[in-house]
Amino acid sequence: MPINTESIMIPDTDRESSQPLDLSRCALAVDIGGTKFAAGIVTELGEIVSSRRIGNPQGSNPEELYDALTDVIDSVLHAVGLESDQPLPMPAVGIATAAPLDRDAGTVSPVNIPAWRGFPLRDRLVERYGLGVRMFGDAVAVAVGEHWRGAARGRRNVLGMVVSTGIGGGVIIDGRVVPGTTGNAGHIGHISVDPFGPPCVCGGIGCLEAVASGTSIAGWARAHGLDVPDAGAVAAAARRGDPIALATFRRAGEAIGLAVAGAVTLLDLDVVVIGGGVAGAGSLLFDPIADGYAKFAGLGYASSPRVIPALLGGDAGLIGAAAVVLQPDSYWPHA
Amino acid sequence: MPINTESIMIPDTDRESSQPLDLSRCALAVDIGGTKFAAGIVTELGEIVSSRRIGNPQGSNPEELYDALTDVIDSVLHAVGLESDQPLPMPAVGIATAAPLDRDAGTVSPVNIPAWRGFPLRDRLVERYGLGVRMFGDAVAVAVGEHWRGAARGRRNVLGMVVSTGIGGGVIIDGRVVPGTTGNAGHIGHISVDPFGPPCVCGGIGCLEAVASGTSIAGWARAHGLDVPDAGAVAAAARRGDPIALATFRRAGEAIGLAVAGAVTLLDLDVVVIGGGVAGAGSLLFDPIADGYAKFAGLGYASSPRVIPALLGGDAGLIGAAAVVLQPDSYWPHA
Cis peptide before A198 (omega within 30 of 0): no
Q: Which residue of A has its CA nearest to B206?
A: A296
Asked whether residue B171 carries a pLDDT value surpassing 50, the answer given is: yes
Asked whether residue A58 carries a pLDDT value surpassing 80, the answer given is: no
Distance between CA atoms of B329 and B272, rounded to whole angstroms? Answer: 22
pLDDT band at A100 (very low <50, low <70, confident <90, very high): confident
Interchain proximity B268–A180, CB inside 8 Å: yes
How distant is the Cα of A175 from the closest Cα of chain B, in angstroms? 11
**How far are the Cα atoms of A271, B53, B127 from residue B3, in angstroms, in the given order?**
51, 24, 21
| Helical axes A231-239 vs A283-296, angle rounded to 10° | 90
Bridge partner residues of A32 (DSSP): A37, A97
Interchain proximity A180–B255, CB inside 8 Å: no
Mutation target vs B (from A104, A156, A268; most B CBs, 10 A cutoff) = A268
Query: Parallel, antiparallel, or unpaired for β A27-32 and A92-97?
Result: parallel
Which residues neighbour B138 within 8 Å (Cβ) at sequence distance 6 or greater?
B31, B32, B33, B96, B97, B98, B99, B162, B168, B317
Collapse the DSSP code of A94 into the 3-class scheme (helix H, G, I; strand E, B; otherwise coil) and give the result.
strand
Query: For residue A93, which amino acid is it?
Result: V
Distance between CA atoms of B206 and B226, rounded to whole angstroms? Answer: 22
Identify the pLDDT of residue B14.
Answer: 45
Residue whose C-alpha is closest to residue A292's, from A330, A254, A319: A254
Interchain proximity B171–A266, CB inside 8 Å: yes
Interchain proximity A186–B266, CB inside 8 Å: yes
Interchain proximity A204–B296, CB inside 8 Å: yes
Interchain proximity B261–A297, CB inside 8 Å: no
- Using the 8-state DSSP alphabet, how is residue A80 labeled? T
Distance between CA atoms of B157 and B303, rounded to whole angstroms? Answer: 16
A157-185: average pLDDT: 95
Q: How far is CA A199 from its chain centroid?
A: 25
Q: Which residue of A has its CA nearest to B297?
A: A204
User: Tell me: the pLDDT tens digits for B200-215?
Assistant: 999 999 999 999 999 9
Identify the pLDDT of residue B10.
Answer: 44
Interchain proximity A302–B184, CB inside 8 Å: yes
Collapse the DSSP code of B170 into the 3-class scheme (helix H, G, I; strand E, B; otherwise coil) and give the result.
strand
Cβ A260 vs Cβ A296: under 8 Å = no
Residue whose C-alpha is closest to residue B178's, from A172, A84, A46, A50: A172
pLDDT band at B112 (very low <50, low <70, confident <90, very high): confident
How distant is the Cα of A266 from the closest Cα of chain B, in angstroms? 5
Asked whether residue A335 carries a pLDDT value surpassing 60, the answer given is: no
B132-161: average pLDDT: 97
Q: Which residue of B has its CA nearest to A102?
A: B301
Mutation target vs B (from A156, A188, A192, A272; most B CBs, 10 A cutoff) = A192
Using a CB-CB cut-off of 8 Å, the residues of chain B touching A206 are 296
Interchain proximity A258–B157, CB inside 8 Å: no
Q: What are phi and psi of B292, to 5 degrees?
A: -65, -40
CATH of domain A5-137+315-331: 3.30.420.40
Identify the pLDDT of residue B4.
Answer: 31
Evaluate whether the domain defined by B5-141+315-331 bears CATH number 3.90.1150.10.
no
Asked whether residue A180 carries a pLDDT value surpassing 50, the answer given is: yes
- Using the 8-state DSSP alphabet, how is residue A7 labeled? G
Using a CB-CB cut-off of 8 Å, the residues of chain B touching A193 are 195
Distance between CA atoms of B274 and B200, rounded to whole angstroms? Answer: 21
How much of chain B is in helix, strand and coil states, percent to nearest 5? 40, 20, 40
Determine which of B1-15, B271-285, B307-321 has the lowest per-residue pLDDT on average.
B1-15
Identify the pLDDT of residue B58.
Answer: 77
**How far are the Cα atoms of A44, A240, B161, B172, B211 from residue B186, in angstroms, in the given order?**
35, 43, 8, 9, 18
Distance between CA atoms of B15 and A173, rounded to whole angstroms? Answer: 37
Using a CB-CB cut-off of 8 Å, the residues of chain B touching A303 are 203
Q: How far is CA A281 from its chain centroid?
A: 17
Size of interface A-B (CB pairs under 8 A): 150
Nearest to A178 among B202, B263, B267 (CB): B267
Interchain proximity B268–A182, CB inside 8 Å: yes
Q: Positive or negative, the Cα torsion across A74, A79, A84, A90?
A: negative
B58-80: average pLDDT: 94
User: In chain B, which residue ranges form alpha helices assigned H by DSSP?
Assistant: 62-79, 121-129, 138-149, 208-212, 214-223, 231-239, 243-267, 283-296, 300-303, 316-326, 328-331
Distance between CA atoms of B130 and A209, rounded to whole angstroms? Answer: 54
Q: Do domains A5-137+315-331 and A151-310 have the same CATH topology?
A: yes
Interchain proximity B268–A191, CB inside 8 Å: no
Using a CB-CB cut-off of 8 Å, the residues of chain B touching A268 are 178-187
Using a CB-CB cut-off of 8 Å, the residues of chain B touching A269 are 180-181
Residue whose C-alpha is closest to residue A299's, from B205, B276, B34, B121: B205
Residue whose C-alpha is closest to residue B204's, from A298, A303, A293: A298
Identify the pLDDT of residue A13.
Answer: 43
Mean pLDDT over the full length of chain A: 92
What interface predicted TM-score (ipTM) does this complex get?
Answer: 0.92
User: Tell me: the pLDDT tens digits for A288-322?
Assistant: 999 999 999 999 999 999 999 999 999 999 999 99
Mutation target vs B (from A136, A161, A178, A191; most B CBs, 10 A cutoff) = A191
Using a CB-CB cut-off of 8 Å, the residues of chain B touching A263 are 266
Identify the pLDDT of residue B13.
Answer: 43
Nearest to B192 among A178, A182, A258 (CB): A258
Using a CB-CB cut-off of 8 Å, the residues of chain A touching B195 are 193-194, 254-255, 258, 296
Interchain proximity A179–B258, CB inside 8 Å: no
- Using the 8-state DSSP alphabet, how is residue A315 labeled? G
Interchain proximity A156–B181, CB inside 8 Å: yes
A209 versus B103: the higher-pLDDT residue is A209
Percent of chain B whose pLDDT exceeds 70? 94
Mean pLDDT over the full length of chain B: 92
Query: For residue B60, which amino acid is it?
Result: S
Distance between CA atoms of B297 and B265, rounded to whole angstroms? Answer: 7
User: Tell me: the pLDDT tens digits for A71-90?
Assistant: 999 999 999 999 999 999 99
Note the CATH architecture for domain B154-309: 2-Layer Sandwich (3.30)
Distance between CA atoms of B234 and B254, rounded to whole angstroms? Answer: 16
Q: How far apart are the first and last CA of chain B?
A: 32
Residue whose C-alpha is closest to residue A113's, from A143, A68, A176: A68
Identify the pLDDT of residue B61.
Answer: 93
Query: For residue B329, which amino acid is it?
Result: D
Cis peptide before A20 (omega within 30 of 0): no
pLDDT band at B59 (very low <50, low <70, confident <90, very high): confident
Distance between CA atoms of A29 and A318, rounded to whole angstroms? Answer: 5
Identify the pLDDT of residue A18.
Answer: 53
- Using the 8-state DSSP alphabet, how is residue A9 labeled? B
B26 versus B335: the higher-pLDDT residue is B26
Interchain proximity A181–B270, CB inside 8 Å: yes
Nearest to A202 among B188, B190, B299 (CB): B299
Asked whether residue B6 carries a pLDDT value surpassing 70, the answer given is: no
Identify the pLDDT of residue B60.
Answer: 86
Q: What are phi and psi of B107, to 5 degrees?
A: -110, 155
B134-152: average pLDDT: 96
Residue whose C-alpha is closest to residue A271's, from A142, A143, A140, A136: A143
B280-304: average pLDDT: 97
pLDDT band at B99 (very low <50, low <70, confident <90, very high): confident
Interchain proximity B301–A173, CB inside 8 Å: no
H helix or E strand, kind and range, residue A291? helix A283-296
Domain boundaries, chain B: 5-141+315-331, 154-309
Distance between CA atoms of A127 and A36, rounded to whole angstroms? Answer: 23
How distant is the Cα of B23 from the closest Cα of chain A, in angstroms? 33
How much of chain A is in helix, strand and coil states, percent to nearest 5? 40, 20, 40
Distance between CA atoms of B175 and B178, rounded to whole angstroms? Answer: 9
Percent of chain A whose pLDDT exceeds 90? 86
> CATH: 3.40.50.2020, 3.30.420.40, 3.40.50.12780, 3.30.360.10. Which one for A151-310?
3.30.420.40
Interchain proximity B178–A173, CB inside 8 Å: yes
Determine which of A78-87, A133-142, A199-208, B57-66 has the lowest per-residue pLDDT on average.
B57-66
Query: For residue A333, which amino acid is it?
Result: P
Mutation target vs B (from A111, A181, A271; most B CBs, 10 A cutoff) = A181
